[in-house]
Structure 1
Amino acid sequence: MATPSVTDPRATLRSGLPDRYLNPDDIAEIFDVPVETVYQWRRKRTGPPGFRIGKYVRYDPADVHAYVTQRKNADQDAA
């Protein structure tokens, strides 16, 4: 029996890092925010770090994971 492909980036991130670069729509879905918020984070340099491939913005899953870990640790330190 073939393993079904996972289409929900949040489920993939929970079970391990995806094996592809993420796009802004993936980031919006993972964090449950509008995609415009992801673009605002990029402009303000407050969200996970992204990079350009031509005209496209991509996010390394390892960088996204590190960003989440950093935010969690900052919240715990503030408490």
Structure 2
Amino acid sequence: MSREHEVMTTGEVAAYLRVPVATLYRWRSTGSGPPAYSVGRHLRFRRVDVDAWLISQPDRSS
């Protein structure tokens, strides 16, 4: 599967971003996290969307 079409689960995205799954759910409820799609009763994230969202976040390390 190409990176463009790669789909990730909530657990995979949490591990990728190194945040708890609960943080992803909180971001989703406030509209501040990466876009997700409902597939039945499950959330799925396109990897390209997660990467684009991550790049768009301001650098707060300084």
TM-score scaled by structure 1? 0.64
2:46 alignment counterpart? 60
Q: Which has the larger radius of gyration?
A: 1
Provide, for residues 29-69 of structure 1, a one-character-per-residue CA deviation record: whole Å limited to 9, x for no partner.
Answer: 01111111111111111111101011000000110111011
Query: Runs of 4+ in structure 1 displaced over 2 angstroms?
Result: 17-20
TM-score scaled by structure 2? 0.80
- Is the helix fraction higher in 1 or 2? 1
Cα deviation for residue 20 of structure 1 reads 2.8
- Is the strand fraction higher in 1 or 2? 2
Q: For 1:18 and 1:35, how far apart are their aligned partners in 2?
A: 23
- Structure 2 residue runs of 5 or longer lacking an equivalent are none
Q: Give the total of aligned pairs.
A: 60
1:38 alignment counterpart? 24
SS of equivalent to 2:49: helix
- Cα RMSD after superposing both structures: 2.3
**Larger RCO: 1 or 2 (CA < 8 Å, sep 6+):** 2
Matches within 5 A, 1:1-79: 17=3, 20-71=6-57, 74-75=58-59
Identity of aligned residues (%): 29
